[in-house]
Amino acid sequence: LDSLFFALQRIITTLANKNEELHNFIETLSHLLAGVQVNSGQVVSDLEEEFDTLFSILEEAKESMTNTIKQEQARKSHELQNQLTQSTNALESAEELLEFANHALDIKDEEEFAKAAKQIKDRVTMAPAFRLTMKPKATDNMTHLMVDFSQERQLLQGLRFLPVPRAPEIEVQDCMVVDNAVTIVWRMPVEDSKIDHYILEYRKTNHEGLPRVKDERCWELVDNVKNTEYILMDLLVYIAGLKFDSKFMNFRVRACNKAAAGDYSDPVTLETRAFNFGFDSSSSHLNLKVEECSVEWDPQGGKGLDSKVKGKENKGSAHLTNLKNMTRSGTPSPKRGSNTRSPAPRGGRDRFTGESYTVLGDTSIDSRQHYWEVKALKDCKSYSVGVAYKNLGKFDQLGKTNTTWCIHVNNWLQNSFAAKHNNKAKSLDMPVPERIGVYCDLDGGQLSFYNAESKQLLHVFKTKFTQPVVPAFMVWCGGLSLSTGLQVPSAVRSFQKAENGLAGSNSSLNSMAQ
């Protein structure tokens, strides 16, 4: 019966997954069907607009060329009409002179005849008929204004839809997710020399498998990609690369030529799991001002509890700035802190109090390997970074119990840099890095600290964790900023594989530092 029960459970799980897959596919088909209707109407509208524009251009050209013909007609008509008028006047003058000359032949008086002959001679010299050009100033030919539309007609007859590139194919086997950067590789199914660029789109999601039409996040776009490979990383978010705050990421790509963009490739889903957590403000020491990814020392935190409850939380923002102006006697040290106890918040663990200026992460680690980074704010006097069991007492200080492991930085009075566990310290003979990387392998029983920039190993604890741990932090006179959503860096993974023989224990500091 047990075997049948488990077999039935597997069948039910398989059917549920298939039902979910079919539901997602039906939503995709419905979305595509609606898209076909909308996009078809849009391209018809665009086509009509293009033809209207073409008709308008032809009408404008026709009107312009007709005006040119009319202007040429008017010019020639004017020229020829002027010549016609002048020639008519000249003819009338010549006919009159001819008639006068014929009459002069009948004059008998020699003196009168000589006078008439001289007058005729002078008039002939000045006659318009002899001054006119007998060549027309214009012809009746208008063929120079004829138009040959054969090429244009051929172009119009050859109108076709734009040559659209084919959909690329993403090479999943060549894609990589390493060091908070995603490398996407694709190829064209057929070589296309007319492709100008590609458009890559990505979307974070917590759903495995094919992308869902209705997802909580929108597609983001990377335009004008010139090659068939792209490394996606955001240096503005984290120096280490993208923040992986989702389990998966969907990717798709399309090719573009000078005319149009082609269809999207089949989408792919890549795993981008990483350890995401923030500071747990509900149990932090009252002298710590806690936000999701930052914590600052606030010496007035306990005194201002009532005003904070009423919403006046901005007083603590100026305390860090004023630390430089405070005297040593006005700033309680970690060893002289007040032991004022405050009531624990309802539904949570007791707040850290007394000299334990501690804040824990809000997410525990119960398996696998995880990595996060911490950066101290400028002039921070004292801080610790490490892990602890969740049952850490509210008076317990990091590194002073057998349930906490940390490295501690002290810049107050006497500088020190040490690894601490079970009230024992091992001095670390190296500069304190600007950012500290923390690697926790709960299953392998290893906690390592690195220079986050160079990936130099600072210290490693080897122990057998008997229960889940939580990231743990101590801050005094300063502040810390937290970077999560990070993969274990490849350099750290390689180092862990090469150095898995480092010695250590849960009760001593025999581990090696490099």
278 close to 185: Cβ distance less than 8 angstroms: no
pLDDT < 50 stretches in the chain: 235-240, 304-347, 502-514
Which phi and psi angles does 441 have, rounded to 5°? -115, 95
Q: What is the pLDDT of residues 358-386, one digit of tens each?
A: 999 999 999 999 999 999 998 899 999 99
* 21 contacts: CB under 8 Å, gap ≥ 6: 209, 210
pLDDT at 327: 34
Rounded Cα distance between 123 and 129, Å, is: 11
pTM, to two decimals:
0.62
Q: Which residues contact 323 (CB under 8 A, 6 or more apart)?
A: 297, 331, 379, 381, 477, 478
DSSP strand E in 237-282: where? 248-256, 268-271
Q: In this predicted structure, what is the pLDDT of residue 210?
A: 73
Query: 3-state DSSP call for residue 378?
Result: coil
pLDDT in tens, 276-307: 999 999 889 999 999 988 999 998 876 644 44
Distance CA 422, CA 265 (A): 56
Report the pLDDT value the prediction gives residue 348, as an integer from 0 to 100.
Answer: 53
pLDDT of residue 406: 97
Q: How far apart are CA 421 and CA 2, in angstroms?
A: 47
The pLDDT value recorded for residue 292 is 83
Report pLDDT for 1.
Answer: 72
pLDDT score for 400: 95
- Give pLDDT tens digits for 114-153: 888 888 888 888 888 888 888 899 999 999 999 999 999 9
What is the length of the chain? 514
DSSP 130: G
Residue 471: strand pairing partners: 387
Residue 103: its H or E element = helix 2-104
- Its sign, for the CA torsion 62, 68, 71, 73, is negative
The encoded tokens of residue 411 equal 């810049």
Distance CA 505, CA 489 (A): 25
